Structure 1
Amino acid sequence: MKVAVVALTKQGIQKGAEVEKALTKRGHQVMFFVPGKYSLLKLPGHRSPFRKPLRDLMAELMHEYEAIVCIMALGIVVRLIAPHLQDKRTDPAVVVLDEKGCNVISVLSGHWGGANGLTSELAREMGANPVITTATDVQGLPAIEMMAKEKGWAVGDFSLVKKVNAAIVNCAPVHLYCDEEINTSLPKNVVQFPVYQFKPTEDAGALRVVVTNRFLPGNSEDTLFLRPKNLVLGIGCRKGVSKAALRDAVIDALAKANVVFESVRAIASVDLKAKEPALLELAGEWNIPVQFYSPGELQKVFSGKESGKLSRSEFVKEKLGVDGVCEPAALLETGNQGKLILPKTSGKGVTVAIAEDI
Structure 2
Amino acid sequence: MKIAVVVITDQGEKVGRKIHQALGESKLFVPARLGKDKESDLLFEGRLRDLVKELFAEFEGIVFCMALGIVVRVIAPYLKDKYQDPAIVVVDEAARFAISTLSGHEGGANKLAYAVANSIGAQAIVTTASETNKKIIVGLGCRKGAKKEDIKRAITEGLKMRGLSLDEVMCIATVEIKKNETGLKEACVGLGVPLTFVPCYKIA
Partner of residue 99 from structure 2, selected from 72, 80, 105: 105
SS at match of 1:87: coil
C-alpha deviation, 1:183, in angstroms: 4.3
**Aligned equivalents of 2:5, 2:79: Cα separation in 1:** 19
Partner of residue 112 from structure 2, selected from 107, 118, 122: 118
Q: How does 1:246-265 map to 2 (within 5 A)?
A: none
Q: How does 1:152-231 map to 2 (within 5 A)?
A: 183-184=164-165
Partner of residue 36 from structure 1, selected from 9, 32, 37: 32
Q: How does 1:85-100 map to 2 (within 5 A)?
A: 85-100=79-94
Listed one character per residue, the Cα deviations across residues 297-330 of structure 1 (whole Å, up to 9, x for unaligned) are xxxxxxxxxxxxxxxxxxxxxxxxxxxxxxxxxx
Verify the 8 A CA contact 2:99 2:124 in the aligned structure 1: yes
Name the counterpart of 2:122: 128
Listed one character per residue, the Cα deviations across residues 195-243 of structure 1 (whole Å, up to 9, x for unaligned) are xxxxxxxxxxxxxxxxxxxxxxxxxxxxxxxxxxxxxxxxxxxxxxxxx
Cα separation, partners in 2 of 1:37 and 1:120, compared to 1, 3 Å: same
**Aligned equivalents of 1:184, 1:11: Cα separation in 2:** 38
**Aligned equivalents of 2:119, 2:84: Cα separation in 1:** 27
Equivalent pairs counted in the alignment come to 142
Moved >3 Å (runs of 4+): 182-185
Name the counterpart of 1:14: 14
**Aligned equivalents of 1:52, 1:3: Cα separation in 2:** 21
Verify the 8 A CA contact 2:18 2:119 in the aligned structure 1: no
C-alpha deviation, 1:42, in angstroms: 5.7
TM-score, normalising length from structure 2?
A: 0.64
C-alpha deviation, 1:41, in angstroms: 2.8
Name the counterpart of 2:201: none
**Aligned equivalents of 1:126, 1:81: Cα separation in 2:** 24
C-alpha deviation, 1:52, in angstroms: 1.9
The structure whose RCO (Cα within 8 Å, separation 6+) is larger is 2
Verify the 8 A CA contact 1:30 1:46 in the aligned structure 2: no
Name the counterpart of 1:48: 42
**Aligned equivalents of 1:117, 1:93: Cα separation in 2:** 9
Q: Which has the higher helix share?
A: 2
**Aligned equivalents of 2:133, 2:46: Cα separation in 1:** 42
Verify the 8 A CA contact 2:30 2:36 in the aligned structure 1: no
TM-score, normalising length from structure 1?
A: 0.37
Name the counterpart of 1:233: none
**Aligned equivalents of 2:28, 2:73: Cα separation in 1:** 21
Cα separation, partners in 2 of 1:42 and 1:48, compared to 1, 3 Å: closer
Q: Amino acid of the residue matched to residue 4 of structure 2? A: A
C-alpha deviation, 1:88, in angstroms: 1.0
C-alpha deviation, 1:60, in angstroms: 0.9
**Aligned equivalents of 2:61, 2:134: Cα separation in 1:** 24
Listed one character per residue, the Cα deviations across residues 125-163 of structure 1 (whole Å, up to 9, x for unaligned) are 11110000011202327xxxxxxxxxxxxxxxxxxxxxx
C-alpha deviation, 1:100, in angstroms: 1.4
Cα separation, partners in 2 of 1:83 and 1:101, compared to 1, 3 Å: same
C-alpha deviation, 1:184, in angstroms: 4.9
**Aligned equivalents of 1:89, 1:41: Cα separation in 2:** 35
Cα separation, partners in 2 of 1:79 and 1:125, compared to 1, 3 Å: same
**Aligned equivalents of 2:37, 2:80: Cα separation in 1:** 37
Cα separation, partners in 2 of 1:184 and 1:19, compared to 1, 3 Å: closer
**Aligned equivalents of 2:32, 2:68: Cα separation in 1:** 22
SS at match of 1:136: helix
SS at match of 2:26: strand
Verify the 8 A CA contact 1:132 1:138 in the aligned structure 2: no
